[in-house]
Amino acid sequence: MLQLNNITKSFGGVFEPVLKGINLLLKEGEFCTVIGANGSGKSTLMKIISGEYSADSGEIRRCGEVSQVVQDVNMGTIPSMTMLENVALSRMKTPRFSFYKRHKNEIADKIKSLNIGLEKFIDQPLSVLSGGQRQTIAILMAINSGRKILLLDEHTSALDPKMQKLLMEYTVKSVREQRITTLMITHNLEDAVKYGDRLIMMHKGRIVADLKGREKSELKIQSLPEMFRKFEDQNSVYDGGADVR
């Protein structure tokens, strides 16, 4: 479970607050996609949830630890360490050599299940992989870390279209099976409509739409640009209180 109560955030030199009273409740295992124009506050919200930023005011309640994947392929992995070491480290609190040996076959099987040939690099430093391959490993690490909250910020943006589709399908299957509470930022409107239980739209630091249930399942991609234009043209604000369900 993840709950945000009246979260605000400002930065020096920025005229308006970046976040203006965000209220949100995600229940255990819920998968929510987040869309919005650049500067709407999406990534700032993620960084506050992860603890990278502190909110100016408001309350955050997290039931479980957080893992995340961001756009930057240089974050989330250690290039000088092997693939096995990276994946194993994401699953343990105290590194022990015996852990690598005991879990090597299981980790190799998970990597092999992606069916893209990365398992042959399991004992090689990640520096030998391409940026897209390293991002794939970062995604696998985050999803299989055992943490109960997953934050995805454009996590497939560095991949080619074929890999984007494969990793999105892997992401959806894994978070469903493990009941991981997931918040996913995307600029891909097709993914925003296709995946997740809920779709949240942010605009100028606020949640302006929260679609779920039948409203979410019947949403068409063609309607999203019109929604964006609506909130550009008027000061409409969605505010459902602490529990936006």
pLDDT tens-place string over residues 2-48: 999 999 999 988 788 999 999 999 999 999 999 998 889 999 999 99
pLDDT tens-place string over residues 207-232: 999 999 999 999 888 888 888 888 77
Q: Give the chain's domains with CATH numbers.
A: 1-65+146-245 (3.40.50.300), 80-145 (no CATH)
Bigger pLDDT: 101 or 33?
A: 33
The predicted model gives 72-100 an average pLDDT of 66
116 falls in which pLDDT band (50, 70, 90)? Answer: confident
Please give the pLDDT value at position 96: 54
- Answer positive or negative: Cα dihedral of 38, 172, 92, 122: negative
102 falls in which pLDDT band (50, 70, 90)? Answer: low
Report whether pLDDT(183) > 90. Answer: yes
